Chain A
């Protein structure tokens, strides 16, 4: 191999080489750690390798997994807010909203915020007996739940403060399912068909019996052709605008129509409740 003389002194080359190797280490390890994470946590060997450069990677925003549309492109997660405006009308807003959030990058930032709320979601808990069985897991559960509630409260506060005179503001998470191509071919429907939206309930993990864990799926979606109703569980903390409210299940009827997303001003029923959605009854 022909070797051209490189224009730097050996000492400088060695110094740069060490810096380059360390930097590349910090570039490779975070996504590797992300891929080698399982139900039991991170792979011990990868976690050990990653630890010396963890802080550096976090500081420079290298701690990413690069899992774009992975492992599978899935449903979108949205946030719907409901409040009574200064005129006494119930207003519902959907986030993100293509009509209001323009340019597209602004829309996408809102979309990422709603996805983030879903990503950090942790059901109320931890379950009573988890602390006895695995105190560390119980503590992590509690911390994750606190994080979710704190972020949710921040969203609620932002909406409250930016909507002058609003009251009774509540937010809830929605999931927008993507129909399969077979469904679309069999019955051509719009992607924003109301049947594709479902409310994500916020309720504790339920245990069916001693030693038998039965988890109620919080993401039940209506099937195609099902009536346009669903059980809804509003995020109680957000609804009451308090961060540490004891979780109370509220049940109502919702039609999460996209048409309602953009400031649908609807009259409030005489009894003070919206005639369609966000009608809440405490258990």
Chain B
């Protein structure tokens, strides 16, 4: 029996699976959507903290509904198993200190929202949010969950590269950024990145988990099957923000809405991925969460969920929607030549025989040359050594830029392909219409 054929098939399948995994997680992605989500998440966080500020002592003070000691005891194992939820806010009882802390939180959240020092303020806003979460046990609901997850994933990505103060600063710092990697990291450029893709994928999958288990939990209830759940949701006086009791007279309507909600929620994690069905799933998401926002008194939660769903929208499409730029110029920001090749033509180095423009990173590595260290240029004079190192840095920076440019071009190519397809489709439609018009008998 020939066993090599099945083995090679398995090997091929495995390789394809790994390739697919790499493509899914490691294809660079624009952080435009994440930048928009940063603004939205920042707004929700800021609003939540501002609302807390209206009654800070009742929720965080020494005499809060759940005082700090009780909040701690709900996590530290006093009443059974302990968990890892921890908050230094359990130790803050002074009203003044609490206010100072809250003001700092408001400042950090505002900075995160406007995209100021996002590399720092995003993780800081997340950490602060976690501290509040573990302090506010008992007073939390869906809004806190989704906002915490969004800020968590945004902290992983360069979410301050668009629509941010960081982007403005980056433009102003233009010249100085090339030679300073720290500044480059601090003020990320707008090129697609793997970090943006990983953050996007994680939030997408997390949303799928939320909807899947939300749907499965509903599927255990009777009212989600007999169609009455929607009535009980809108019939809850404590939740309702608009009186919808009139719907009691239309059982077909509310039972239909109940079934749509259940099936949509359970199937979301499967049907959101095919591009054909994605708009449908997103429209239902807007309807369901819009309904929660309008009728069930949870405007913040409903809007936050709608915003979270935007993570499934293609960055190029969303950017066109927000900036109004036609597709052809969508990446025009990146057309400015950032790579100044003249910088690489260092005459001093040419004179010394080190100005070889074909010098590559691998050449440097092969020769034992380490970027950023002088170990590989020990035999040269300090002056030349410094120039070589500077040159090497420039080469590396130019390489990075070329790589980024390549990725941008790939993205543009993709967008152009889509535009071409759309153009073809319109042309065909137009041709059909012309043909149809031609077939019509003329009255005149």
Please give the residue numbers on chain A whose beta carbons come within 8 Å of chain B beta carbons, in ascending order: 1, 3-4, 6-8, 13, 16-17, 20, 23-24, 27-28, 31-32, 34-35, 54-56, 58-76, 78, 96, 103-113, 116-117, 140, 143-144, 146-147, 150-151, 154-155, 157-158, 161-162, 176, 178-181, 184-185, 188, 191-192, 196
The 6 closest A-B pairs by CB, nearest first: A71-B221, A31-B213, A70-B217, A67-B217, A72-B221, A116-B138
Extra pairs beyond A68-B214, A75-B236 (9, CB < 8 Å): A1-B19, A35-B220, A60-B130, A61-B134, A63-B83, A73-B236, A113-B66, A116-B137, A157-B67
C-alpha spacing A78/B211, complex, angstroms: 28
5 contacts between A and B (CB under 8 A): A4-B27, A60-B148, A103-B54, A191-B236, A196-B237
C-alpha spacing A117/B407, complex, angstroms: 54
C-alpha spacing A60/B70, complex, angstroms: 20
For B300, what are the chain A residues with a Cβ–Cβ distance below 8 Å? 104-105
Known: A73-B232, A113-B138. A154 touches B224 (CB 8 A): no
Known: A28-B209, A72-B224, A113-B139. A3 touches B19 (CB 8 A): yes
Closest B residue to A79 using CB positions: B65
A197 to chain B, nearest CB (A): 10
C-alpha spacing A31/B212, complex, angstroms: 9
C-alpha spacing A75/B67, complex, angstroms: 27
For A8, what are the chain B residues with a Cβ–Cβ distance below 8 Å? 26, 194
Closest A residue to B137 using CB positions: A116
> Which of the residues B48, B59, B254 comes within 8 Å of A181, measured between beta carbons?
B254
Closest A residue to B220 using CB positions: A71
C-alpha spacing A63/B209, complex, angstroms: 12
A10 to chain B, nearest CB (A): 9
B302 to chain A, nearest CB (A): 11
Chain B positions 67-84 with a Cβ under 8 Å from a chain A Cβ = 67, 70, 73-74, 78-80, 83-84
For A178, what are the chain B residues with a Cβ–Cβ distance below 8 Å? 232, 235-237
Q: Are B217 and A66 in contact (CB under 8 A)?
A: yes
Known: A55-B84, A179-B235. A70 touches B194 (CB 8 A): no
C-alpha spacing A65/B210, complex, angstroms: 8
C-alpha spacing A34/B70, complex, angstroms: 24
Closest A residue to B228 using CB positions: A181
Q: Are B220 and A66 in contact (CB under 8 A)?
A: no
Q: Are B213 and A96 in contact (CB under 8 A)?
A: no
Q: Are B218 and A69 in contact (CB under 8 A)?
A: yes
Q: Are A20 and B198 in contact (CB under 8 A)?
A: yes
Q: Are B27 and A154 in contact (CB under 8 A)?
A: no
Of the candidates B66, B140, B228, B238, the one having the most CB atoms from chain A within 10 angstroms of its own CB is B238
Known: A1-B16, A7-B28, A150-B73. A61 touches B145 (CB 8 A): yes
> Which of the residues B27, B79, B139, B254 comes within 8 Å of A144, measured between beta carbons?
B79
Q: Are A70 and B221 in contact (CB under 8 A)?
A: yes
For A23, what are the chain B residues with a Cβ–Cβ distance below 8 Å? 202
Q: Are B202 and A185 in contact (CB under 8 A)?
A: no
B233 to chain A, nearest CB (A): 5
Using C-beta atoms within 8 Å of the partner chain, give the interface range for chain B: 35 or more
Q: Are A74 and B232 in contact (CB under 8 A)?
A: yes
> Which of the residues A27, A34, A117, A162 comes within 8 Å of B205, measured between beta carbons?
A27
C-alpha spacing A279/B206, complex, angstroms: 51
C-alpha spacing A108/B300, complex, angstroms: 11
Chain B positions 1-59 with a Cβ under 8 Å from a chain A Cβ = 16, 19-23, 25-28, 47-48, 51-52, 54-55, 58-59
Known: A7-B403, A27-B206, A61-B148. A73 touches B223 (CB 8 A): yes
Would you call B152 an interface residue if the criterion is a C-beta within 8 Å of the partner chain's C-beta atoms?
yes
C-alpha spacing A76/B296, complex, angstroms: 13
C-alpha spacing A246/B83, complex, angstroms: 30
For A60, what are the chain B residues with a Cβ–Cβ distance below 8 Å? 130, 148, 152
Would you call B365 an interface residue if the criterion is a C-beta within 8 Å of the partner chain's C-beta atoms?
no
For B148, what are the chain A residues with a Cβ–Cβ distance below 8 Å? 60-61
Q: Are B249 and A185 in contact (CB under 8 A)?
A: yes
Of the candidates B28, B51, B148, B213, the one having the most CB atoms from chain A within 10 angstroms of its own CB is B213
Q: Are B194 and A106 in contact (CB under 8 A)?
A: no
Q: Are A191 and B228 in contact (CB under 8 A)?
A: no
Q: Are B248 and A185 in contact (CB under 8 A)?
A: yes
B200 to chain A, nearest CB (A): 12
C-alpha spacing A109/B247, complex, angstroms: 28
C-alpha spacing A58/B237, complex, angstroms: 32
Known: A69-B229, A72-B224, A150-B70. A35 touches B213 (CB 8 A): yes
Would you call B196 an interface residue if the criterion is a C-beta within 8 Å of the partner chain's C-beta atoms?
no
C-alpha spacing A191/B232, complex, angstroms: 11
C-alpha spacing A227/B256, complex, angstroms: 36
> Which of the residues A16, A143, A179 comes within 8 Å of B25, measured between beta carbons?
A16
A54 to chain B, nearest CB (A): 8
Known: A1-B19, A34-B213, A112-B139. A7 touches B26 (CB 8 A): yes
C-alpha spacing A68/B229, complex, angstroms: 12
Q: Are A158 and B65 in contact (CB under 8 A)?
A: yes
For B239, what are the chain A residues with a Cβ–Cβ distance below 8 Å? 76
